[in-house]
Every structure is written in C-alpha cells, then in structure tokens.
Amino acid sequence: MAADLTSQGTAGRPSEERSGKGPEVAVDARTPQADIHARQLAGLDALELSVGQRRGFASRLWSGIWPVASAIVIVLAVWQGVVLAGWWPEYVFAGPVTTLTELADRMGEAEFYGAVAVTMRRAVVGFALAIAVGLVVGALVSRIRPLRRAVGSLITGLQTMPSIAWFPLAILLFGLTESAITFVVILGAAPSIANGLIAGVDYTPPILLRAGHMLGLRRLSLYRHVILPASLPSFLAGLKQGWAFAWRSLMAGELLVIIANQASLGEQLHFARELADSAGLLATMIVILVIGIAVDLLFGAADTALRRRWGLHQVTT
C-alpha cells in the first residue's frame, strides 16, 4: 500500500505534535464519510491488483519450442558427425537417417503400439502401487515419532540402492513374471514418494499449523485440511523423482525379465542387441527417452500450475 494517505501519525511516532491543531471534523458526519471511505478503499484495492500482461499464444509457443528444437538439431548433428567419423561401421552404429526411417516404419506397425502399451501398463500399475505404498509409509513415518527414528534413514538408504540390484532377489521370489518387475518398480519409486511427503509434512509452516489450531482443527482434521495440502509441492517433487526411478527400474526389469508373448520396449531392446539390429535398438531407445521426458514434462506442468495457484512461482527473466 501507499504511504499514509491522511495526515494521521503512524505507528510508534510521538503523536502530540498534532494535538489541538487543525480543524476538527464533526463526529456526526461519520456515516456518509465512512461510505466515501469504503468507495475509496475499493478504488485503492482495484489499483493494487495489477493486471499481468499475457503474451500471445504464438509467441509463448515459439519460446517454448525453439530451445527444444535447437537441442534436437544439435544432438542429430553430433550423432551424424560421429557416424561420419567412421569409428564404427554403419551396421554397428546406425546413423540418424537410418534410425529415424526405422522408427517411422515401426510406428506404422501394430506391434510397436502393443509393445508400448505393455510397457506403459506396467509403468502405470507399478507407479500407482508405489504411490500407494509411499503415501502409507510416508504418512505413518511422518506422524509416528519412534517409527520416524527407526525407518526414516532406512528410506533414504533404499533410495540410494540401484534398482537393478533388487532383481536377483525379485526373480527368486516371484520367478520370471511381471510381479518381479512390479516389485522392483515399487521399491525404486516408493522411497522417493514417501520422502517427498515426509519432507512436506516436516516443512509445513508453523504459522499455518497455529492458524489451523486456532480455527479448531485438531489431529485428523488438521492433517487433512492443513498438513496434507501444505505438503503438496514437496509431495509432487517426490512424485517426479519417483517417476524417474520407476521408469529406470522398469527398463532394467524388462531387459532382465523376458516374458513370452509380451512384447515390451525393454524386450525389443534386448532382441535388437541379440540380432545386432543397430537401427532398431536406437529407435527403441529414442522411444524410451521420449516417453520418460513426456511424463516428466507432465509432472513439471503440474508443478508449475500448483506454484502459480499458490503464488510461489518465481519471476521469469
């Protein structure tokens, strides 16, 4: 707000200098004056709510696309350069043109979409279960103090464990089945998700807890109306990280656990290597990369939307 708009003394300033000076406004003129005040107040409020300038759709689209486009061009150029350098023969390391043609061919076949569907189904199921496990563990650990000491650092420890190291055990327990893959995906993603929730609960601003308490929210209702919403940004960050871990675990799993009649992206990678199909291998890798990035962008968009809603977004330069 602007500085004091009337000549009244501000907080803490000695105020006697005004005493007895100046004409007194009649007290009974209060009501119409209060009305004027109210209207002036509305005017001030309107002035304060600055209207943000929104750029046009085309310019926003362009500013979003050009960095990505130039990155792709750079990667393709380096790739082509390496191929032209001739360190490897073309049948070992296919060039971008061969690979992209192969990818285009595959995208015309139903088999390709079948493989993507199988992989995505596994990813979604595994990630959904990981969220459930992460939520339950995170909620328990953040609320129960003794559990916190016992399990808190264990969760962080689990996060540092390379997921591929779980597969021998998973295969022993579940055999060469999808359950083995799901098991490792959950173990890969759940710790990050749980940690995100725990951090969010820990960093709930105390003033909001106090405000909730004053409003009469206690225990479960405080958790539901204050603590959980307050931990949402941190939880979302946990989800994003959890997704990266889940996707990696899934690819490791699909390379190791080959299930008959279940064509998947990992399996395609495996057979492309067996058959020394360089273009096919690289094409599959591109698909894996693109899916991973796309889902990550989704989480990024959710995060941005949340920050915008809460007024946490930073000033863009």
Which residues lie near another protein (CB under 8 A)? 1-12, 14-16, 18-20, 22, 24-25, 27, 30, 34, 37-38, 40-42, 44-45, 48-49, 207-208, 210-217, 221, 225-226, 229-230, 232, 309-312
Question: Smallest gap, in angstroms, from Cβ of residue 39 to another protein?
Answer: 10
Backbone torsions φ then ψ of 92, nearest 5 degrees: -95, -45
CB 280 within 8 A of CB 268: yes
Nearer to another protein, 9 or 162 (CB): 9
CB 137 within 8 A of CB 151: yes
CB 223 within 8 A of CB 201: no
CB 296 within 8 A of CB 243: yes
Nearer to another protein, 7 or 59 (CB): 7
SS3 118: helix
Task: Give the list of residues 6+ apart from residue 193 with CB closer than 8 angstroms, or none.
Answer: 130, 131, 133, 134, 135, 138, 235, 238, 239, 242
* Cβ atoms within 10 Å of 225's Cβ, excluding its own: 13
Backbone torsions φ then ψ of 69, nearest 5 degrees: -60, -45
Nearer to another protein, 162 or 205 (CB): 205
Nearer to another protein, 19 or 317 (CB): 19
Question: Smallest gap, in angstroms, from Cβ of residue 316 to another protein?
Answer: 16
Place of tokens 């055990």: 169
Question: Smallest gap, in angstroms, from Cβ of residue 89 to another protein?
Answer: 58
Tell me which amino acid residue 217 is: L
Paired tokens of 74: 């750079």
Question: Smallest gap, in angstroms, from Cβ of residue 34 to another protein?
Answer: 6
Nearer to another protein, 17 or 274 (CB): 17
Question: Smallest gap, in angstroms, from Cβ of residue 212 to another protein?
Answer: 8
Paired tokens of 84: 């032209």
Interatomic CA distance for residues 170 and 34, integer angstroms = 74
Question: Smallest gap, in angstroms, from Cβ of residue 303 to another protein?
Answer: 14
Nearer to another protein, 96 or 229 (CB): 229
Question: Smallest gap, in angstroms, from Cβ of residue 10 to another protein?
Answer: 7
Dihedral sign, CA of 222, 223, 227, 232? negative
Place of tokens 């291998």: 281
DSSP 8-class letter at 256: H
Nearer to another protein, 113 or 310 (CB): 310
Nearer to another protein, 20 or 146 (CB): 20
Question: Smallest gap, in angstroms, from Cβ of residue 26 to another protein?
Answer: 10
Supply the Cα-derived Rg of the chain in whole angstroms. 30
